[in-house]
Homo-oligomer: A and B are copies of this chain.
Amino acid sequence: VSVLEIPVLIARKRDGGELSADEIRSLITAYMAGDVGDEQMSALLMAGVIRGFSEAEAVALTEAFIASGDTVDLSDLRGPTVDKHSTGGVGDTTTLVVAPVLAAAGLQVAKLSGRGLGHTGGTLDKLEAIPGFRVDLTPEQMHEQVERIGLAVAAATQDLVPADKRIYALRDVTGTVPSQALIAASVMSKKIAGGADTIVLDVKTGDGAFMEQLDEAVGLAELCVRIGEAHGRRTGALVTDMGQPLGDAVGNALEVGVAIEVLRGERDDRLAALSRELAAAALALTGEPEPEEKVSQVLEDGAALEHFREFVAAQGGDATVADRPWEVLPSAPIVRRWAPGAGVVRDVRTRRLGELASLLGAGRQRKEDVLDPAVGLVVHPRIGDRVEDGEPAVEVHARTEDDAARVLELLPEVVRLTDEDVRSVDLVHRRIGMGS
């Protein structure tokens, strides 16, 4: 693509046409070289958001993103390599359960992860709540650790998919976020560049998710699966509910604590159920004949917990967290409980709940914000559950009395009760690319 042709390509997309894989590759290459300006890229993105990108364009975008930087080669590891991604939710700590379960089941888990922004938490932020835990592994350290103990979770380096990083930042300020193709290319380019041959996606839908509507989430999940398959990866996706927090905890140390409780067999809740489903999905993709049984086995015989212990130790963390989570993890000085009165939980404004946790210091409003690992919220009931008069529904873990008071005041708008019966909400809406 010569510089003079760029407006012509933008105009074709503007008029509803399609760009070839070669043209998309040239555009992304030229963008990274500075020959396509931010103003040109954002115009192209807007045209694509409104007119839509085809599946072929989404595959080509993914490929062009991957080609913009380094890729990880895991092909010399014995056995299937697996990565897992969630589109982001509230109280969503499945990675901390799924990764050790899969490692215990014989898969190689090399997960590159991100930090949280807005109302959702990031896996790296959660892991760093464990005293001593480090996420800045070099590619070589990561590779060696996976080879040795079967799992590693680290921050993606700047050299991995740099085109996605630049375009993601551009989309954020130009109103060009909501495009299935752009979201799918962003997610899948990072997963594919990360080197795993098996990819499991957890696409969230509901008030606390980026894709609020079920049909949008299903479309995104289907597109991601097809992109993964087009790049030769075994790919599956669950479309799951984010109309209420997944686990009880919202906040970094609190979420690590409940994840460890799941690994210890001390919890049988929605977090535990979804973690089992996701792990079974990964095992099914790699050909495991009885995936659910395998997951139960490694949870019950302690192998998953043992792999978690090794994982924490390998990345410099205090491994005794696996045995005494609430003693090892940092805790907030102020804990206040909120009892909403008697009734049935009608709805939980999940996005708002994530924002309240951020307000306490558990999440970032801006990239440069420093988190407090100890603060957050614990939400006990789920939609359809009955709460008795005086029974606490939410715990507020805060740095100060003022912070706690501000959040307590807002909670009645977030967890709302009714006198009538309310149906509980399905956890998994759809399974895509899973064979059946």
Q: Which residues of A contact B (CB under 8 A)?
A: 6-11, 13-14, 37-47, 49-51, 170, 172-176, 178
Residue from the list B6, B9, B47, B178 in contact with A46, Cβ < 8 A: B47
Residue pair B43, A10 in contact (C-beta under 8 Å):
no
Which applies to chain A's interface (DSSP): helix, strand, loop or mixed? helix
Residue from the list B14, B39, B46, B172 in contact with A173, Cβ < 8 A: B39
Please name all residues of chain B whose beta carbon is closer than 8 Å to the beta carbon of A173 when the two chains form the complex: 6-7, 37, 39-40
Docked Cα-Cα span, A41 to B42, in Å, equals 9
Residue pair B38, A174 in contact (C-beta under 8 Å):
no
Residue pair B7, A172 in contact (C-beta under 8 Å):
yes
Assembly stoichiometry (copies)? 2
Known contacts A45-B43, A51-B50; is-contact A175 B10 (Cβ 8 Å): yes
Residue pair B14, A47 in contact (C-beta under 8 Å):
no
With A7-B172, A39-B174, A40-B173 already in contact, 12 other A-B pairs whose C-beta atoms are closer than 8 Å: A6-B173, A9-B175, A14-B49, A14-B176, A37-B38, A39-B173, A42-B43, A43-B46, A43-B176, A46-B47, A46-B50, A50-B50
Docked Cα-Cα span, A9 to B175, in Å, equals 8
Docked Cα-Cα span, A176 to B10, in Å, equals 9
Of all chain B residues, the one with the shortest Cβ separation from A40 is B174
Docked Cα-Cα span, A14 to B38, in Å, equals 18
Please name all residues of chain B whose beta carbon is closer than 8 Å to the beta carbon of A7 when the two chains form the complex: 172-175
Of all chain B residues, the one with the shortest Cβ separation from A36 is B173
Please name all residues of chain B whose beta carbon is closer than 8 Å to the beta carbon of A45 when the two chains form the complex: 43
- How far does the Cβ of A29 sit from chain B's closest Cβ, in whole Å? 18
Docked Cα-Cα span, A42 to B176, in Å, equals 12
Residue pair B11, A175 in contact (C-beta under 8 Å):
yes
Please name all residues of chain B whose beta carbon is closer than 8 Å to the beta carbon of A175 when the two chains form the complex: 7-11, 13-14, 40, 43-44, 47
Please name all residues of chain B whose beta carbon is closer than 8 Å to the beta carbon of A9 when the two chains form the complex: 175
Of all chain B residues, the one with the shortest Cβ separation from A175 is B10
Residue pair A39, B6 in contact (C-beta under 8 Å):
no
Residue pair B42, A40 in contact (C-beta under 8 Å):
yes
Please name all residues of chain B whose beta carbon is closer than 8 Å to the beta carbon of A38 when the two chains form the complex: 37-39
Please name all residues of chain B whose beta carbon is closer than 8 Å to the beta carbon of A174 when the two chains form the complex: 7, 10, 39-40, 43
Docked Cα-Cα span, A287 to B99, in Å, equals 83
Residue pair B14, A46 in contact (C-beta under 8 Å):
yes
Docked Cα-Cα span, A40 to B171, in Å, equals 9
Please name all residues of chain B whose beta carbon is closer than 8 Å to the beta carbon of A14 when the two chains form the complex: 46, 49-50, 175-176
Of all chain B residues, the one with the shortest Cβ separation from A16 is B50
Docked Cα-Cα span, A28 to B368, in Å, equals 29
Docked Cα-Cα span, A10 to B174, in Å, equals 7
Docked Cα-Cα span, A40 to B8, in Å, equals 20
Docked Cα-Cα span, A46 to B49, in Å, equals 10
- Offer 10 A-B interface pairs, CB within 8 angstroms, sorted by A: A7-B173, A37-B173, A38-B38, A40-B42, A40-B173, A43-B45, A43-B175, A44-B175, A46-B47, A47-B50
Please name all residues of chain B whose beta carbon is closer than 8 Å to the beta carbon of A6 when the two chains form the complex: 173
Of all chain B residues, the one with the shortest Cβ separation from A41 is B39
- How far does the Cβ of A368 sit from chain B's closest Cβ, in whole Å? 15
Docked Cα-Cα span, A13 to B37, in Å, equals 22
Residue from the list B8, B39, B51, B178 in contact with A39, Cβ < 8 A: B39
Residue from the list B37, B43, B51 in contact with A43, Cβ < 8 A: B43
Docked Cα-Cα span, A419 to B164, in Å, equals 59
Please name all residues of chain B whose beta carbon is closer than 8 Å to the beta carbon of A13 when the two chains form the complex: 175
